Structure 1
Amino acid sequence: MTTISLTVNGRPATIEAEDRLTLADLLRDRLDLTGTHLGCEHGVCGACTVLVDGEPVRACITLAAAAEGCEITTIEGLDDDPAAEVIREAFSEAHGLQCGYCTPGMVIMVRDALRRGCCESPDAIRSQLAGNICRCTGYGGIVHAAELARDRLAAGEATITFSTMDASS
């Protein structure tokens, strides 16, 4: 057993965990943050994408112990994030979701790509989302949602900063 101390969605957490526990299992089973979905459990589908110190990672292939001292942000941690709200609204309007299973990982990846300025064209958006699998939408709605969010954010509806816990984001 290992003691892991980290910050999850702005709240400190200290957890005793087996050395083999994944970050996804810690989030879902120990902290009841079930917005982090498990699809392939091999790091391929992107459903488990969370932010670790502001960078997207696959929680299913990241050991919880590797997150010692890190700031973790799940989809639930973006509930009050103005940029994520713009992205969620765009997903809804552009029909960028169907079953919703991939949506948390997609929203996190779109938010990150927009933060880095990597959504200048549909091809660029597709490239940024290449590591996230959606079996329902055909990606057209997701790409359109990213474009809508990009344009709205550029118009000043919200801003994206590095730290997801920054109240000004």
Structure 2
Amino acid sequence: MAAATAATPSSSRRWGDRQVSRTVRLAIAALFACLLTACAAASEDVAVRPAVDGKRIALTFDDVPRAPGAFLTEEARTERLIAALDASDVEQAAFFLNPGHIENRPGAEARIAAYVAAGHVIANHSNTHPRLSKTDADIYLADIDAAESWLKTRSGHRPWFRFPYLDEGQRDKVKRDA
């Protein structure tokens, strides 16, 4: 008659369909402890922003630089907007840019630099402002990349993206997920 052998409960445990040895469990616990210690040490060097009471909102402006309007020049609009944000104690707003529209607008780069100098940030709103639902996915992604190439060389850049026309391609999942 053959003797039955069984693993002792103290030497291994089941994890899903596998037995995990005590050595592996100890190694995982040691790794977790090292990661926890490293995270705690790293967090000491991180500047912590003071807590904000109540809710916060994000102010964002699309299609920058804008063309002249009926009442304001581009320069006057920039000056007034910066002054209004400052007067309202807005610490930081985000300006979503279309860099493909800059070369046709004299002074546009200076106006964008003024937003950044005032403490605001700039982000990607595509290069030429196409609609996702009416553009081939490869062309659309290339347009985003062109804008990002321009933006990442500027101060105040954040790696954020806002869909033009807020068109996220809901009806075309393949494009949206590209």
Same fold (TM over 0.5): no
Which protein has greater RCO, CA pairs closer than 8 Å, 6+ apart?
1
Kindly name which structure, 1 or 2, has the bigger radius of gyration based on alpha carbons: 2
Please indicate the TM-score interval, normalised by the length of the shorter structure: under 0.3
**Larger helix proportion of the pair:** 2
